[in-house]
Amino acid sequence: MLRVRFFTLMTYLCLFIASAPLAAQAVQPAWINNPYASFNRQAYIVAVGVGNSRQTAERDALRGIAGMFGLNIQAVERLTTLYREVITDGATAWTYETDFRSAIETSVRMDNLMGAEIRQHWVDNRGTHFVLAVLNRATGVLLYSNRVRANQDIIRNLTDMPAAQRNTFEGFSRYQFAAVFADMSFTYGQMLVVLGAPWHEPLRTGEWFLQRSREILTEIPIGINVRNDRGQRIRGAFASAFADLGLRSAGINPRFVLDVNVSIRRDEHLVQGAEFAWIEISANLTDTSTGSVLLPYNFNFRGPARFTMQEAENLAFNDAVQRIGREYGNLVSEYLAGLVPRR
């Protein structure tokens, strides 16, 4: 009987010892209900995040930090992603200053735009995650000021060019890139205002630079030369695609020229009483200053059957015009979006 009681006592003791760490873990930290328990409000900005995983809790905490700056976390994340993409494309080459380049590259390596740190992490007995995000105000002022200074330097270098260079695809791409840096600077400028250290001059938004880039497109004339056209239908289709993007298909001795060749012939597709037309179109957008082809485009197809060759060719031309209208504008738009200014 004594041995049974001893065994039972030892069992309870072992269970108590094993459960002790869990009991300690279950004690809720004070910072969950009072984030500023260990931080001075005058020196820090803090926020608690909650989620079903550490990642979602951290994002929730950063949302709280962003909200204190009047920012939307989704917009911040999209801007940060775009910012990192242009840096990856080599945008830091547009600053000569080593310190500026270092500031940009450091910001890209950071986990979030605000430079906030995750200081605490705790999980309750239901598996809910809690994290504490902390931003040192003084550090934030220094960090954001350095980034604004570096971004503004890149913007100046991107947009400082002669008028002749400005009204080109290169000039367009420079202003498109500048828009990303401007949006980032403007965001940091908002954050500096909240921290009581506003930037010393007005900061333009990215939309201002995007508007300038759209204006540049209207000043870029593109010549269109079409061989073997009929009634200028093919030329009209390409001109319409350019016009939809704000580009002009006009000008005397333009730098950029679209050279188009149309070839149409009778297709030997033997169907009694029917005629088929085979049409081929090749179009090269060329920079005449270098002789380089910027954007090739070509297609071919057999038109539907008609009773006469004239009808078959006419229908093939109509189908080609419709295809150009569906495809070419999107192709040029993708080309413009992918341009990267090179120093």
Q: 163-194: per-residue pLDDT in tens?
A: 888 999 999 999 998 998 899 899 899 999 99
Encoded amino acid at 34, one letter: N
Do 158 and 37 belong together in one domain? yes
Dihedral (CA of 319, 320, 321, 327) sign: positive
Angle of helix 169-194 relative to helix 206-218, nearest 10 degrees? 170
In 3D space, the residue among 273, 243, 271, 269 whose CA is nearest the CA of residue 258 turns out to be 243
Residue 232 has which token pair?
A: 């200028």
Q: Which domain holds residue 290?
A: 221-329
Same domain, 112 and 170: yes
Does the pLDDT of residue 92 top 80, yes or no?
A: no
pLDDT value, residue 115 = 79
In a domain, 195, yes or no: yes
Q: Is residue 199 part of a domain?
A: yes
Tell which wins on pLDDT, 192 or 100: 192
Identify the top-confidence range among 12-26, 207-221, 300-314.
207-221
Instruction: Calculate what percentage of the chain has a pLDDT beyond 70.
Output: 82
Q: Is the pLDDT confidence value at 78 over 90?
A: no
Average pLDDT value for the chain: 84
Is the domain of 48 the same as that of 194? yes
Strand order in the sheet with 129-136: 44-51, 129-136, 117-123
pLDDT at residue 1, as a whole number = 45
Element at 313 (helix H, strand E): helix 309-337
Q: Are 95 and 157 in contact (CB under 8 A)?
A: yes
pLDDT band at 9 (very low <50, low <70, confident <90, very high): very low
Among 165, 187, 217, residue at a domain's last position: 217
Lowest mean pLDDT among 79-88, 106-115, 122-131, 245-254: 106-115
**Looking at the predicted structure, is the pLDDT value of residue 264 above 60?**
yes
Task: Please report the DSSP string for 159-221 in residue order.
Answer: H---HHHHTSHHHHHHHHHHHHHHHHHHHHHHHHHHTT---SS----HHHHHHHHHHHHHT-B
pLDDT for 15 beyond 60: no
Q: Do 122 and 212 belong together in one domain?
A: yes
Could you tell me if 211 and 234 lie in one domain? no
Q: Is residue 289 part of a domain?
A: yes
Q: How far apart are CA 258 and CA 249, in angstroms?
A: 9
Residue 15 within any structural domain of the chain: no
Which tokens is 214 given?
């759209």
4 in a structural domain: no
Which of 217, 247, 280 is the C-terminal boundary of a domain? 217
Assess if residue 61 is contained within a domain. Answer: yes
227 by DSSP, 3-state: which?
A: strand
Least confident of 9-23, 163-177, 281-295: 9-23
Q: How confident is the model at residue 82 (pLDDT cuts 50, 70, 90)?
A: confident
The answer to whether residues 189 and 75 belong to one domain is yes
Query: Is the pLDDT at 199 greater than 90, yes or no?
Result: yes
How many domains, the chain? Answer: 2
